[in-house]
Amino acid sequence: MDTMDATLHAALGERRIQHLYRQRSHLTSGCAAMITVDGKPQHNFCSNDYLGLAGHPDIALALKAGADQYGTGSGASHLISGHSEAHENLEQQLAEFTGRPRALLFSTGYMANMGVITALMGRHDMVLQDYLNHASLLDGGRLSRAQMQRYKHSNIEDLAAKLDASHASRKLVVTDGVFSMDGDLAPLVSVAETLRHKSGL
Ligand SMILES: Cc1ncc(COP(=O)(O)O)c(C=O)c1O
Ligand 1: atom nearest CA of 179 is 1
Distance 31 CA to ligand 1 centre (A): 16
State pLDDT tens for residues 4-56: 899 999 999 999 999 999 999 999 999 999 999 999 999 998 888 989 999 99
Helix (H) or strand (E) holding 150: strand 147-151
For the residues 169-197, what does the mean pLDDT come to? 94
Percent of the chain past pLDDT 70, that is, above it, reads: 98
Q: Which of 98, 123, 155 is the last residue of a domain?
A: 98
For the residues 136-162, what does the mean pLDDT come to? 97
pLDDT at 2 over 70: no
Is residue 3 in a domain?
no
Ligand 1: atom nearest CA of 48 is 14
Distance 139 CA to ligand 1 centre (A): 12
Domain CATH for 123? 3.40.640.10
- Kindly state if the Cβ of 125 falls inside 6 Å of ligand 1: no
Cβ burial, residue 195 (10 Å; 0-12/13-18/19+): middle
Q: Write the residue with the smallest CA distance to atom 7 of ligand 1.
A: 109
Of 111, 166, 172, 162, which is closest to residue 140 (Cα–Cα)?
A: 111
Distance 84 CA to ligand 1 centre (A): 25
171/162 Cα distance (integer angstroms): 11
Domain boundaries, position 92: 56-98
148/142 Cα distance (integer angstroms): 7
* Model pLDDT, residue 4: 80
Instruction: Round the average pLDDT of the chain to a whole number and report it.
Output: 94
pLDDT at 193 over 90: yes
pTM of the predicted structure, to 2 decimals: 0.85
Is residue 165 in a domain?
yes
Is residue 2 in a domain?
no
pLDDT at 197 over 60: yes
Q: What total of structural domains would you count in the chain?
A: 3
5/2 Cα distance (integer angstroms): 8
Do 124 and 164 have their domain in common?
A: yes
Mapped to the 3 state alphabet, what secondary structure does 157-187 carry?
A: HHHHHHHHHCCCCCEEEECCCECCCCCCECC
For the residues 173-201, what does the mean pLDDT come to? 92
Whether 152 contacts 128, CB under 8 Å? no
Ligand 1: atom nearest CA of 133 is 1
126/149 Cα distance (integer angstroms): 8
* Model pLDDT, residue 156: 97
Distance 109 CA to ligand 1 centre (A): 5
Distance 180 CA to ligand 1 centre (A): 8
**C-alpha of 84 from chain center:** 24
- Kindly state if the Cβ of 136 falls inside 6 Å of ligand 1: yes
Is residue 13 in a domain?
no
The model's confidence at residue 181, banded by pLDDT at 50, 70 and 90, is confident
* Model pLDDT, residue 98: 97
The model's confidence at residue 1, banded by pLDDT at 50, 70 and 90, is low
